[in-house]
DNA sequence: ATTAGTGGTGTTTTT
DNA sequence: CACCACTAAT
C-alpha cells in the first residue's frame, strides 16, 4: 500500500519508517525529523494493519513528548488514540502497577512521592533512628537511594565497601520498609517495581510480551540502566524495539542516563539495522556548522554529521558584556529590535545553564516592559497550598500515608505541636503502625495521656473521618471543594495577607480536577487495562468500545473510532486471540468494579499530580519571550536563540569538571543550545557576574573558542570601552581555560594602581588572566590574578611583569 | 504555639 | 542571596 503518510520523507526517514519488524536504532540528529519518523512509523504500522493500536508501546521521557506524539498520531490517522500505551516510563510503569497492584505488592491506592516528599521521608527516617544529619545529608541520601534504584539495586544487592556506604544502604533499607508500610512509592520505585513484577510473574510478563509486538522508544540516549532492562524484559526475544536517539544530545547522565546504552542496544536487542538521520531541516548553515565543529571536540561519539540544504544565513552574533547586568541590557535591546521587525516573542528563547541566572534577565525584561515566561520554576502541583490540599486528599484515599498526615496534621494550626507529634510517632513505632492508626487509638478508648495533646489529634481524626464520609458518592471537584472548606485551608489563606494568590490556586485546583474528570480518556485507559488483563480476552477493545459509547460526550465520534479500532484488527498482534465482538457484554464497569469510580478517579488524579507537576505559569497563550534552562529547551526550536552566561565555571559548570566525561556532557548541552536556533543565534557572556551574593570574575567559555571565528560577528556595547582586548581575545592556548575559584567583591582601590579589578592582563609565564583582587599601594601593591588552568596567584606589581591584555 | 531573629550552608541540570 | 534550622522571646 502506498500511503500518503510516506510522502515527503527523505530516503533515510522512509527507510526508518518502513523497517520490517525487527529491532533497530535510529540515530537522529538535532532537527532531523526524529519525532516525525517516530510518529509516522506508528501511523504506518497501524494503517498497514501490521499492528493493532493497542499492540504497540511507545515510551518517551517527558509528558510533553508523549502528548505531542498522541496529537500527531491523531492527526495522521482517523482513530482515537485512547487506550494506547503511549507515555513516559514513569507513567506507563504506574499504569502497569495500578492494573496489577496485588501482584506488585502495593495497595491499590499507593501514592507517588515527589522529590521533596522523598527527602522529607528520608529525613524522618534519619531522625527516628538518630542518624547524624551532618554526616548524612537527607538530600544526598535520597539521591543515593534513587541512584541505586535507577541501577536496579535493592538494599541487599548494593555493594558497600566502606562504612559510610554501608550506613547509606542501611538507611535505604529503612526507607524502603517505611514506604511499604505507608503504601507510597517514589519515581524510581515505579519503574523498579514494574521491572520486578515483570521479572517475577511469568503470566504478566507473557501477557505484555504477547501484546506489544512493537515497542518504540524516544530519546534513547537518556535511558538509564533500569529502563534499559525494563525494555529488554518487556520486549523479550520476539518483539521489535524501534529506538530513536542522539548520543550528542545526551545530557542527563547526572540522573543515571547512560549513553552507553545506545552502543549496547545493538548487541542486547539484536538490532539488525542502524539508520542515521543527518539532514537537518531546522537551522541555517552557519548555525549548523558551529554545532558540528563544537560537538566535533568530543571524543566519545557514535559519529554523525548534520548537513542542510539551507543557505548559510546570518552570522552568529557574539556579545561580551562587562557585567551580567550589561548582558541583560544587551539582550533587552536585541529583543526589542526583533519584536519591531515582526518576530513573535514566543519564537525567541533566552537560554541559560542554571536557573539562578534567570533573575538578572527577568529583572531587565521586567523593567523594559517586555513580556516573558519562565519555565522551570515552582510548578503548579508543587506549590505549598496545592500540596496541602492534595495531602488531605491523599489521607482520604489512604490514611496510612504518614507524609501526607505530617504535612497537614497541624495545618491550619489546630494545637498539635512537636510534642504531640512525637508522641504519635513513638506510639506508631511501638505498635508498628502508621501514624494515623496511632492517632485513632489515642483518641479512642485509651485515655491514659493528658487531655491537652489529645484534643487536637482527636479533632484531626474526626475531621479526616468526616471528610472521607463526605467524599463518598460525590464528584472529584466536589471532594476537593469539600477538603478546601472543611480543612480550614480557605479560611486560613483568607486571613493571610499574601493569601489571595493561594486561594486562586486552590480554585484552580478544583478546575483542574473538573477538567481531569471530564477527560474520558483517563477512565478508558484504566478500565481497558484492568479489563484486558483480568479476563485474558480481547475485552480491552470491548471495554474501550463500550465505555466510549457511554462516557464520551461525542458518542458518535467515539463509536466511529471504536469501529475503526475493531475493524480488521482481530488477528493482529496486540490482543490475545479471540473474537472481539463476542465479548462486548463484558463492560468496563463490571470487569473492574472493586472500588467506587469516584475513588478510582481520585487515585488517578493524585497520580497525575505527582507524575505531571503541571506548568508553572498560567498565561501560556500570550506572546512572550521564552526563558528556560538549556535542559528544558531540549526538543524545542525557535527562530532566535540567546545562549547566555557562556563563561568558564558556569557553562561548562565548574561542578562538571571533576567527573569523567563531565566536560563532554557540558559540550553536548551547548550543542543542544546551539541547535535550538533556526535563523539567528546569539552567544553572550559577561566578565563579571553576581552569584551567591558575590561578584565573580570569569573568562569566556571554552565553547566560544571552539566556535570558528569566521562564523561569528562580534557586537560591541554601544558605549565602546577604550581600546584593549578582552578575555575572549586572549591567545588560544587551550590550557588556559579552567574554572574560576571563589572571588571577593572588588575593593575600590587607590590611585596609583594601574590595574582595575576585573581587568584582563597578560603574564609572560602564566598567560592571560583576570584580576580578581588587589591590595596595598605603591611599591607594595599586589594583585590576585585568575589565570584559569594555571591557577589563581598573588603577584607583586613591582616584580611581576603584567601587561594589560 | 507562633514569631522574629540569627547563623550556617549551599547552589547544575529533572522524570 | 535565599533557604534552612535552631533559639529566644512573646
pLDDT digits (tens, 9 = 90+) for A143-177: 999 999 999 999 999 988 888 889 899 999 999 99
Q: Provide, for chain A, the percentages of residues in helix, strand and coil under a 3-state DSSP scheme, each rounded to the nearest 5.
A: 50, 15, 35
Q: For residues A646 and A727, is the Cβ–Cβ distance under 8 A? A: no
Query: What CA–CA distance (Å, rounded) separates A354 from A25?
Result: 32
CA of A481 to C1' of B9 (A): 40
Catalytic residue check, A310? no
Candidates A12, A34, A402, A687; catalytic one = A34
Q: What is the mean pLDDT of chain A?
A: 80
Contact predicate A549/A572, CB 8 Å: no
Instruction: Calculate the CA A732 to chain-centre distance.
Output: 37
Nearest nucleotide from residue A693 CA, by C1' atom: C1
Question: Residue A124 CA to nucleotide C7 C1', Å?
Answer: 22
Q: Is A776 exposed, middle or buried (0-12, 13-18, 19+ CB in 10 A)?
A: middle
* Phi, psi for A311 (deg, rounded to 5): -75, 175
Residue A588 pLDDT level (bands cut at 50, 70, 90): very low
Closest nt to A60 (CA→C1')? B15
* Nucleotide in closest CA–C1' contact with A692: C1
Distance of CA A772 to the CA centre of its chain: 37
Highest mean pLDDT among A460-474, A534-548, A667-681: A667-681
Q: Is the pLDDT of residue A211 over 70?
A: yes
Q: Which of A150, A219, A229, A583 is catalytic?
A: A219
For the CA of A422 and the C1' of B3, the distance in angstroms is 22
Residue nearest to nucleotide B11 (CA to C1'): A692
Nucleic acid strand B: bases within 7 A of protein CB: 1-2, 10-15
How large is the average pLDDT for residues A300-329? 90
Percent share of chain A, pLDDT over 70:
78
Q: Which helix (H) or strand (E) holds A22?
A: none
Give the mean model confidence (pLDDT) for residues A639-659.
Answer: 90
- Closest CA relative to residue A570, chosen from A537, A548, A534, A530: A537
pLDDT the model gives residue A517: 85
Query: What is residue A472's predicted lDDT score, i.e. its pLDDT?
Result: 87
pLDDT at A535: 37
Q: What would the pLDDT profile of A350-364 be if each residue is shown by its tens digit? A: 999 998 888 889 889
Q: Separation of CA A247 and C1' C7 in angstroms?
A: 52
The whole-number Å distance from A740's CA to B9's C1' is: 20
Q: Which of A47, A218, A583, A665 is catalytic?
A: A218
Nearest-CA residue to the C1' of B10?
A692
Give pLDDT, residue A754. 59
Interhelix angle A520-534/A539-551, rounded to 10 degrees, is: 150
The larger pLDDT score, comparing residue A768 to residue A65, is at: A65
d(CA A676, CA A643): 10
pLDDT at A531 exceeding the cut of 50: no
**pLDDT at A710 exceeding the cut of 70:** yes
Cα–Cα distances (Å) from A625 to A26, A121, A620, A642, in that order, read 33, 38, 11, 11
* pLDDT band per the 50, 70, 90 thresholds, residue A805: low
Q: What distance in Å separates the CA atoms of residue A677 and residue A317, rounded to the nearest whole number?
A: 12
Q: Which three cell numbers stand for residue A231?
A: 525494555
Annotation marks residue A249 as catalytic: yes
Give me the CA A7–C1' C3 separation in Å, rounded.
Answer: 55
pLDDT tier at A723, thresholds 50, 70, 90: very low
Which of the residues A35, A81, A108, A323 is marked catalytic?
Answer: A35
Query: Nearest nucleotide, C1' to the C-alpha of A690?
Result: C1
pTM of the model: 0.79
Q: pLDDT tens across A611-631, in order?
A: 887 665 545 567 889 999 999
> Is it the case that residue A34 has pLDDT exceeding 80?
yes
Query: Of A180-184, A384-388, A771-775, which gets the smallest average pLDDT?
Result: A771-775
Highest mean pLDDT among A305-309, A427-431, A519-523, A799-803: A305-309
Instruction: Check if A34 is active-site.
Output: yes
Strand C nucleotides within a 7 Å radius of protein CB atoms: 1-2, 6
The protein side of the strand B contact, defined by CB less than 7 Å from any of its atoms, consists of A 61-63, 88-90, 114-115, 137, 139, 146, 187, 251-252, 254-255, 353-356, 376, 410, 413, 415-420, 456, 611, 613, 629, 631-632, 653, 655-656, 669, 692-693
Q: How far is the CA of A182 from the C1' of B7 (A)?
A: 36
Question: Does the annotation mark A676 as catalytic?
Answer: yes
Compute how many other C-beta atoms are within 10 angstroms of the C-beta atom of residue A636: 15
Contacts of strand C, CB cut-off 7 Å?
A 133, 359, 692-693
Task: Output the distance from A423 CA to C7 C1' rounded to whole Å.
Answer: 23
Check whether A596 has a pLDDT greater than 60: no
Shortest CA–C1' contact from A652: which nucleotide? Answer: B12
Position A651 scores a pLDDT of 92
- In this structure, the strands spanning A240-245 and A184-185 are unpaired
Amino acid at each position: 500500500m502506498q500511503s500518503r503518510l510516506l510522502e515527503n520523507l527523505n530516503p533515510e526517514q522512509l527507510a526508518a519508517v518502513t523497517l520490517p519488524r525487527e529491532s533497530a536504532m535510529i540515530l537522529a540528529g538535532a532537527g532531523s525529523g526524529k519525532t516525525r519518523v517516530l510518529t509516522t512509523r506508528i501511523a504506518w504500522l497501524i494503517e498497514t494493519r501490521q499492528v493493532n493500536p493497542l499492540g504497540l508501546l511507545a515510551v518517551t521521557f517527558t509528558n510533553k513528548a508523549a502528548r505531542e506524539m498522541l496529537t500527531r498520531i491523531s492527526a495522521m490517522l482517523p482513530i482515537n488514540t485512547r487506550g494506547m500505551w503511549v507515555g513516559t516510563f514513569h507513567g506507563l510503569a504506574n499504569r502497569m502497577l495500578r492494573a496489577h497492584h496485588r501482584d506488585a505488592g502495593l495497595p491499590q491506592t499507593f501514592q507517588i512521592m515527589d522529590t521533596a516528599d522523598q527527602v522529607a521521608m528520608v529525613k524522618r527516617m534519619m531522625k527516628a533512628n538518630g542518624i547524624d544529619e551532618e554526616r548524612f545529608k537527607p538530600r544526598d541520601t535520597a539521591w543515593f537511594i534513587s541512584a541505586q534504584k535507577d541501577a536496579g539495586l535493592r538494599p541487599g544487592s548494593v555493594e558497600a565497601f566502606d562504612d559510610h556506604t554501608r550506613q547509606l544502604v542501611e538507611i535505604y533499607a529503612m526507607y524502603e520498609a517505611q514506604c511499604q508500610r505507608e503504601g507510597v512509592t517514589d519515581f524510581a520505585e515505579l519503574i523498579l517495581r514494574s521491572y520486578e513484577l515483570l521479572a517475577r510473574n511469568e503470566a504478566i510478563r507473557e501477557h505484555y510480551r504477547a501484546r506489544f509486538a512493537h515497542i518504540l522508544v524516544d530519546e534513547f540516549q537518556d535511558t538509564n540502566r533500569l529502563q534499559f532492562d525494563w525494555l529488554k524484559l518487556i520486549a523479550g526475544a520476539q518483539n521489535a524495539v524501534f529506538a530513536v536517539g542522539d548520543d550528542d544530545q545526551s545530557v542527563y547522565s547526572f540522573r543515571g542516563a547512560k549513553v552507553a546504552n545506545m552502543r549496547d542496544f545493538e548487541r542486547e536487542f539484536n538490532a539488525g539495522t542502524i539508520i542515521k538521520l543527518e539532514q537537518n531541516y531546522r537551522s541555517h548553515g552557519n548555525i549548523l556548522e558551529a554545532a558540528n565543529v563544537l560537538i566535533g571536540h568530543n571524543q566519545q561519539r557514535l559519529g554523525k554529521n548534520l548537513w542542510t540544504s539551507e543557505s548559510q544565513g546570518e552570522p552568529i552574533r557574539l556579545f561580551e558584556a562587562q557585567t551580567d547586568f550589561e548582558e541583560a541590557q544587551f539582550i533587552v535591546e536585541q529583543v526589542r529590535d526583533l519584536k519591531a521587525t515582526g518576530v513573535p516573542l514566543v519564537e525567541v528563547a533566552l537560554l541559560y545553564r542554571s536557573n539562578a541566572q534567570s533573575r538578572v534577565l527577568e529583572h531587565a525584561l521586567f523593567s523594559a516592559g517586555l513580556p516573558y515566561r519562565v519555565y522551570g520554576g515552582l510548578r503548579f502541583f508543587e506549590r505549598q497550598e496545592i500540596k496541602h490540599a492534595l495531602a488531605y486528599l491523599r489521607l482520604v484515599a489512604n490514611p496510612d500515608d504518614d507524609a501526607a498526615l505530617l504535612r497537614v496534621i497541624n495545618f491550619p494550626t489546630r494545637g498539635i505541636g512537636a510534642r504531640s507529634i512525637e508522641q504519635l510517632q513513638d506510639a506508631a513505632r511501638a505498635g508498628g503502625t502508621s501514624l494515623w492508626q496511632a492517632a485513632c487509638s489515642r483518641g479512642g478508648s485509651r485515655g491514659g495521656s493528658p487531655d491537652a495533646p489529645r484534643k487536637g489529634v482527636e479533632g484531626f481524626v474526626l475531621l479526616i473521618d468526616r471528610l472521607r464520609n463526605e467524599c463518598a458518592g460525590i464528584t472529584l471537584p466536589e471532594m476537593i471543594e469539600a477538603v478546601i472548606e472543611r480543612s480550614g485551608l480557605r479560611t486560613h489563606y483568607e486571613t493571610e495577607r499574601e493569601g489571595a494568590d493561594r486561594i486562586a490556586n486552590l480554585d484552580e485546583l478544583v478546575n483542574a480536577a473538573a477538567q481531569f474528570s471530564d477527560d474520558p480518556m483517563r477512565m478508558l485507559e484504566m478500565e481497558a487495562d484492568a479489563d484486558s488483563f483480568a479476563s485474558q480476552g480481547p475485552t480491552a477493545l470491548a471495554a474501550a468500545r463500550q465505555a466510549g459509547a457511554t462516557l464520551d460526550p461525542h458518542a458518535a465520534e467515539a463509536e466511529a473510532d471504536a469501529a475503526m479500532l475493531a475493524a480488521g484488527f482481530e488477528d493482529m498482534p496486540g490482543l490475545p486471540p479471540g473474537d472481539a465482538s463476542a465479548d462486548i457484554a463484558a463492560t468496563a464497569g463490571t470487569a473492574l468494579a472493586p472500588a467506587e469510580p469516584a475513588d478510582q478517579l481520585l487515585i488517578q488524579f493524585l497520580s497525575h499530580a505527582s507524575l505531571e507537576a503541571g506548568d508553572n505559569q498560567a498565561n501560556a497563550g500570550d506572546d512572550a519571550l521564552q526563558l528556560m534552562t538549556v535542559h528544558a529547551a531540549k526538543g524545542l526550536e525557535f527562530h532566535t536563540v540567546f545562549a547566555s552566561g557562556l563563561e568558564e565555571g558556569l557553562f561548562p559548570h565548574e561542578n562538571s569538571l571533576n567527573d569523567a566525561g563531565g566536560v563532554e556532557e557540558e559540550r553536548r548541552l551547548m550543542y543542544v543550545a546551539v541547535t535550538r536556533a533556526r535563523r539567528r543565534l546569539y552567544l553572550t557572556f559577561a566578565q563579571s557576574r553576581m552569584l551567591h551574593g558575590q561578584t565573580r570574575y570569569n573568562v569566556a567559555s571554552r565553547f566560544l573558542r571552539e566556535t570558528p571565528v569566521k562564523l561569528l560577528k562580534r557586537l560591541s556595547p554601544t558605549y565602546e570601552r577604550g581600546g584593549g582586548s578582552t578575555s575572549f581575545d586572549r591567545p588560544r592556548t587551550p590550557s588556559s581555560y579552567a574554572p574560576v575559584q571563589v572571588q571577593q567583591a572588588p575593593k575600590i582601590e587607590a590611585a596609583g594602581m594601574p590595574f582595575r579589578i576585573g581587568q584582563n592582563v597578560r603574564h609572560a609565564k602564566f598567560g592571560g588572566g583576570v584580576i580578581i583582587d588587589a591590595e596595598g599601594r605603591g611599591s607594595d601593591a599586589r594583585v590576585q590574578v585568575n589565570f584559569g588552568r594555571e591557577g589563581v596567584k598573588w603577584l607583586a606589581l613591582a616584580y611581576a611583569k603584567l601587561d594589560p591584555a
